[in-house]
Structure 1
């Protein structure tokens, strides 16, 4: 193993260990804040004026996503999976990720080229589950808003490219930059053909917010407790003290696919 590869493996492992330690610590100290001031006055005003709808597209505007509207092409139980790659691929890589999660970013930076190569050669399909752990731990809406925007990109057939752009531009974990729709729309400029009126409205309105929340709730009931969680054909292959490398992932897939034909890939997944 080259020194560069060794350093990359340690960096990803250390980031994963640090992230999971932070998540565990924050889960213990999470507090519930109850705001009870001015209730009588608020109820009195609400009875007179009702609910005021805002037409402004801003980060503070009410987001329209109420029903769990799954993005186009979503699969799996309750349509909570975003698939990438040929459906007939002989192996399935399952990825649970949070766009604000630094350990997820470390994983992506180390493994993305290998995953794309395996997808594009028909050896695997990847099934993404979008999670919002960091919003829950640190507050903010960056995990939710970024996941909604990624689901909007899936509607446009450009999930993979936009997913990669989000990780390439991930802010510091403490910075809720992805909570601003302006940031998410600016990043969409890096994906040719993505930033249409339909995509922009989907991002502003939070069209898939409820779907993202349902995906996160399913993760909470899955038995897994940290991101990233990576499975190959249902078996966990990446975690704390993981020795997984891009080369060993390719070898695992080759072993799993022994005697099986790769799927026919007609176009590069987007």
Structure 2
């Protein structure tokens, strides 16, 4: 082999090695660029996910939105601002009994089971009108939704008629249907509708069912709850006859039995 050929071969080999090194270097640069780009996309995706999660966490819930609603659909058979004045009974009745209740309240259930029928009879006879003020503070204490949801459903019953409202309220507080305070059964529309099946005017009532499931009166329920909050009343049940608290003699408690109620109301009517 000539020296010339040997030098040429070596030069060609060196060139091939140089070209191969350039190809490898270019390949490595491309790989690093792809890794950096992928990492950037991942970081942005994670950051975006965290940002979305924070945004969702800070987004007001359904009931908070209902509380702040500007447009409120009030049930029929109501009056006043946002329909939060609910008066049942003869318009000409001279006396007005204010009744403050929370649907999840066990003491309210005891009152309704013991004295509810007497109250209904008095209202029917025109002895006094009933002004109802619904509360939802138990939900706030127990992180639930049942008080609010039941109050909205009561609005749906009131939209049917005052009589349907009265019967449905009694059913919600009945021994058969009223849950333990720790059980948030009223948060379920299906359970509220089950209770409503015991009320003839509400059973198979498509409009009532739709209003419960659609939450038609959710904003109204929150406005009613705000009315309770502004009243200064601190617990339920609370009864006031023409603004004066009705209690069992010698105590600050609302009457529970029919006998206690009769005595306390008759005294309040005379006062």
Q: What TM-score, normalized to structure 1?
A: 0.69
Residue number in structure 1 paired with 2:166: 160
Q: Distance between the aligned counterparts of 2:232 and 2:201, measured in 1?
A: 38
Q: Distance in 1 between matches of 2:129 and 2:122?
A: 8
Q: Which residue does 1:218 correspond to in 2? A: 227
1:155-211 Cα distance to aligned partner (Å, 9 max, x none): 011100101000002100000011110000011111113131111110011111111
Q: Decide which structure has greater helix share.
A: 2
**Alpha-carbon distance in structure 2 between the residues aligned to 1:39 and 1:101:** 45
Matched, 1:248 2:256: no
Highest relative contact order (Cα 8 Å, sep 6+), 1 or 2?
A: 1
1:209 pairs with 205, 209, 218, which one? 218
Gaps of 5+ in 1: 1-37, 48-60, 257-270
Contact in 2 for aligned 1:123/1:253 (Cα 8 Å) = no
CA 166–40 in structure 1, closer or farther in 2 if over 3 Å, else same: same
**Alignment check: 8 A CA contact 1:91 1:253 kept:** no
Secondary structure at 2:77 match in 1: coil
Query: Are residue 95 (structure 1) and residue 99 (structure 2) matched?
Result: yes
2: CA distance between counterparts of 1:252 and 1:122?
A: 17
CA distance in 2 between partners of 1:188 and 1:129 (Å): 20
- What are the Cα deviations for residues 117-149 of structure 1, in whole angstroms up to 9, with x where unaligned? 111111111011111011000011100111111
The aligned residue for residue 196 of structure 2 is 188
Maintained 8 Å contact 2:100/2:238:
yes
Deviates more, 1:76-85 or 1:109-118: 76-85
TM (normalized to structure 2)? Answer: 0.69
Question: Structure 1 residues 190, 42: closer, same or farther in 2, change over 3 A?
Answer: farther
Measured on the aligned residues, the alpha-carbon RMSD in Å equals 2.8
Identify if the C-alpha distance between structure 1 residues 206 and 39 changes in structure 2 by more than 3 Å, giving closer, same or farther: farther
CA pair 136-39 structure 1, distance change in 2 beyond 3 A: farther
Q: Counterpart in 2 of 1:147?
A: 151
If you compute each CA radius of gyration, which structure gives the higher value, 1 or 2? Answer: 2
The answer (yes or no) to whether the contact 1:97–1:228 under 8 Å persists in 2 is yes
Instruction: Give, in whole Å, the separation in 1 of the partners of 2:145 and 2:231.
Output: 22
Q: Which residue of 2 aligns with 1:171?
A: 179
Number of matched pairs: 207
